[in-house]
Structure 1
Amino acid sequence: MADKKILIVGASVAGPMAAFWLAKTGADITVIERHEAMRDGGQNVDIRTTGVTVIHKVPEMEARIRAAAAPLAGMTVLGSKGQSILTIKGSGDPKQQSLMSEYEVFRDRLSGIIYDFTKDLPNVRYVFGEQVKSMSQDEKGVDVEFLNGNLPQSRYDLVVAADGATSRTRALAFNCKVRDHMSSMNAWAAYSTIDKNLLNGSKEGQLTTSTPGRGIILLPDHDSEHNRVLLMGSHGSDKSSIMPLFRRAVKDGDGALKAFLGEFYRGHGRDEILTAVQQSTKLYASEAAQVKVPSLYTGRIVLVGDAGYAAGPVGTGTSLAITGGYILAGELHKHPEDLATGLQSYSDRMRPIVQDMQQIPPGFPGIMTPQAAWALNFRNAVLRVVSYLMVLSDFLPISSSLGWVAGLYASAFGTDKYSMPDYTFG
């Protein structure tokens, strides 16, 4: 791969991770990102199963991620009157994690760490404020025209689409619409950094839920002056009128999104959080959706991370993004003179992992933000059971009537069972 030119589209987790491993093959790599810089803010994400295996292959990276972990000691679920229902804490074992990951880190911190590992490599360069305008390929390469003129039209041996679930690169490559191959979960989330510490210095996050389908998580940030907020909504049916309103608000910008959130959460409580979100300059939102494509590549264009296999709200998307870049680079390195075989091997390796880690437990995602009061009570009961049984499911033969609960979550919270290859680069 040493004489190959590779374009990676997207500089969130999947893009920089792919750049890190592909750089080890000796390829010349350009990473483009449509935003003007690495994005600030974002939700806390988990690294689990195969993701833990991959970061352990780079001890310095694993140590940096641990050092940057979100300052989160636990998550307290609050009732309608503000009373504590239960508190979820980590297991203390990164190989057998609970509902709260041992690698709980804010997305911007994780992206920044991986970016720092790649930005000074001699064969990697980042170009911000740029995106693909058009692509055409033949059996020898891909001709790419760029939208903003920060790069000249160029020819690449491989294009890696790592630009998220609504990947424009995927749409261009597969001659489809952006939302084709996306399966909506009829749920969404919005993320904000607020200029207040409403936790009063506590390191325990708080989850409040109200019906129908509304949830707010308040999280500590790395400093004492800010909190991070995750706002969640689910709607239970493809016929819901809320999802089109949400999509329109996201498309129309922060003002429209804030107006949507203000109306949606009317009567929920926690008005101090909602007021702070309205005043925040750091806000973005995304729809909960899975991506399932008939192929992970077409010709010399390949999909990595959410662009190829967004996992939806099951806690495995970041791990899949980390895993995909590693396996792609490893399989291409094994077949340096046969790109087609390398890409097919990548697909063959990833398919069973993706299929398993995209499994949706019954009731998800609505169980996190239920529509009815009885469902909310059931949710709280399930959280109690899962938090107790999750870390035991791989160690004890749980034969009680509640054992099935832990089993439903095995893909996201159990050990790495996928026999990850140990590639040798050099």
Structure 2
Amino acid sequence: MRVLISGGGIAGPALAFWLHRAGADVTIVERAPAPRPGGHAVDVRGVARGVVERMGLREAIRARQVDERGFALVDARGRKLATMPADLFGGEGIVAEIEIARGDLAAILREATARDVDWRFGDRITALTLDGDVTFASGGRERFDIVVGADGVRSGTRKLAFGPHEEFVRPLGGWGSYFSVPDPGDLGGWFEMFNAPGGRVAGIRPERGGTAKASLSFRTDEAFVRMAKDDQMRVLEQRFAGVGWRVPGMLSGMSDADDFYFDEISQVHVEKWSRGRVVLLGDAGYCGSPLAGLGSSMSLVGAYVLAGELAAASSPEDGFAAYQNEMAAYVADGTRLPPGGIGGFAPNGRLMIRMRATSMRMMGRWPMKGILAKQFAKSDAITLKDYAFAAA
């Protein structure tokens, strides 16, 4: 079986790992000219921890994971209004037991597949048919038994095989940014977050290597597409002008960050994840947004299940159908937003901001603890099969 995977982030290399073990000939095409370091923190939750254990990568992840004590909501003077320690919900809370920079997790997966997979950086799919004929930007044309779109929310593969982004990407009414800044030195291992009126949210969390990750998000129905990086930064400077706390320092350090990212907060919903010999994996097919918080875990679990069902099926189409059947309930839970959605994350008025702090102080008590426990338990909402290759 000859498989082409578009996307060299997390979902694509994880799938390549399992497909190679199942005996497939795997190629990964990644449009970036080289691996992307850094990135925002991602977590490995619930059954996804079992997947990385089966891959033999748990120790490699442990060596690079970020040491965070938990989440803290703070006021303009930096005083903690509410805290959620990392172990409050068994390591499945806002800050999970396993937190790691996206680039570090991607590097671990790339290292695990480097010798067995044909990696092609600086290229992308420009045309494909539903039976596996692919044309690349570099000019080459090849035929594959299966083509996998694992290339994110704005998947080029999905656009070519399924239709325009607007049919599948649902904006949630906000935009978010993250970028690295020098570690302020006083975080004490806490991921701090501050709410300002007008639906504005600022956050900062520790990283490895003397840096911290700053995040700035705000509610809006405006669109900021096809905007140059400098213009995106100006939007943030205007939106967060006059906001106190650590925000002035974040804004002053923003222009020096080499990992600046700015995008719409949105979800991806695709009714059927396959068409012909083309199938979607991870954010390309199902994304709950950063508010839902299960993106990397769904990618890791989805890769394991897709590979397993393809290895067991008599045809790719049968494998795709079994993959969606196995994953459907887990994805439905994983893409469900927490109570309040973006309004709960980024309240507009001071009263709602105070109410958010009050509700968060109740997180460890009944009945809030029970409600949140159900929300965080969605990371375990699937029972993994013991596919034959998993024991290889």
TM-score range normalised by the length of the shorter chain: over 0.9
Q: Report how far residue 19 of structure 1 moved.
A: 0.8
- SS of the residue corresponding to residue 166 of structure 1 reads coil
In the TM superposition, residue 193 of structure 1 has moved relative to its aligned partner by 1.4
Identity of aligned residues (%): 28
What TM-score results when the alignment is normalised by the length of structure 2?
A: 0.93
Shift of 1:217: 1.3
2:268–2:284 contact (8 Å) kept in structure 1: yes
Question: 5+ residue gaps in structure 1?
Answer: 390-399
The 3 A distance-change label for structure 1 pair 92 and 380 is closer
Match of 2:335 among 358, 370, 379: 358
Contact 2:330/2:381, CA 8 A, preserved across alignment: no
Structure 2 residue aligned with 1:89: 85
Secondary structure of 1:318's aligned partner = helix
Identify the match of residue 17 of structure 1 among 2, 10, 14: 14
1:420 aligns to what?
384
Matched, 1:181 2:146: no
Asked whether the 8 Å contact 1:314–1:412 carries over to 2, the reply is no
1:63 is aligned to 2:59: yes
1:153 is aligned, of 117, 127, 141, to 141
Q: Over residues 112-165 of structure 1, what are the superposed CA-to-partner deviations in whole Å (9 max), with x where a residue is unaligned?
A: 1111111122xx111111111001133xxx11001134xx21000000000001
What secondary structure is seen at the aligned counterpart in 2 of 1:279? coil
Q: Is the 8 A contact 2:218 2:346 kept in 1?
A: yes
Counterpart of 1:233 (choices 186, 200, 218) is: 218
Contact (CA 8 Å) 1:385, 1:405: kept in 2 or not?
no
Kept in 2: contact 1:18–1:326 (CA 8 A): yes
Q: In the alignment, is residue 326 of structure 1 matched against residue 284 of structure 2? A: no
Inter-CA distance 183–203: structure 2 relative to 1 (3 Å threshold): same
> For the Cα contact (< 8 Å) 1:93–1:102, is it kept in 2?
no
Instruction: Say whether residues 1:256 and 2:231 are aligned partners.
Output: yes
Structure 2 CA distance for partners of 1:402 and 1:217, relative to 1, 3 Å? closer
1:163-312 mapped onto 2 (5 Å cutoff):
163-174=151-162, 176-194=163-181, 196-200=182-186, 202-224=188-210, 226-235=211-220, 240=221, 243-244=222-223, 247-248=224-225, 251-269=226-244, 270-312=247-289
State the 1:190 CA deviation. Answer: 1.1
Partner of 2:372: 406
Q: Which of these residues, 103, 119, 143, is aligned with residue 114 of structure 2?
A: 119
| Offset, 1:208 | 1.8
Distance in structure 1 (CA, Å) of the matches to 2:27 and 2:77: 52
TM-score, normalised to structure 1, is: 0.86
Q: Partner residue of 1:79?
A: 75
**2-structure distance, mates of 1:309, 1:358:** 7
CA apart distance, 1:222: 0.9
Measure the CA separation in 2 of the matches of 1:130 and 1:252: 23
Deviations 1:371-401 (A, max 9, x none): 1111111211222222x15xxxxxxxxxx54
Q: Is the 8 A contact 2:64 2:100 kept in 1?
A: yes
Structure 2: how far apart are the matches of 1:229 and 1:411? 28
The answer to which of 377-386 and 13-22 deviates more is 377-386
- Look up the SS of the partner of 1:405 in the other structure: helix
In structure 1, give the amino acid aligned to 2:212: N
Deviation at 1:407, TM superposition (A): 4.9
Q: 1:373 to 1:92 in 2, by over 3 A?
A: closer
CA RMSD of aligned residues (A): 1.9
The 10-residue stretch of structure 1 (356-365 or 404-413) with the greater mean CA deviation from structure 2: 404-413
Q: What secondary structure is seen at the aligned counterpart in 1 of 2:129? A: strand
Pair 1:230–1:403, CA change in 2 (3 A): closer
> 1:255 corresponds to which letter in structure 2?
D
Counterpart contact for 1:41–1:192, Cα < 8 Å = no
Q: Which runs of 4+ in 1 moved over 6 A?
A: none
Give, in whole Å, the separation in 2 of the partners of 1:404 and 1:86: 17
The CA distance in 2 between the partners of 1:40 and 1:257, in whole Å, is 21
Residue 101 of structure 1 aligns to a residue whose secondary structure is coil
The one-letter amino acid of 1:29's match is V
Q: What is the aligned length?
A: 387
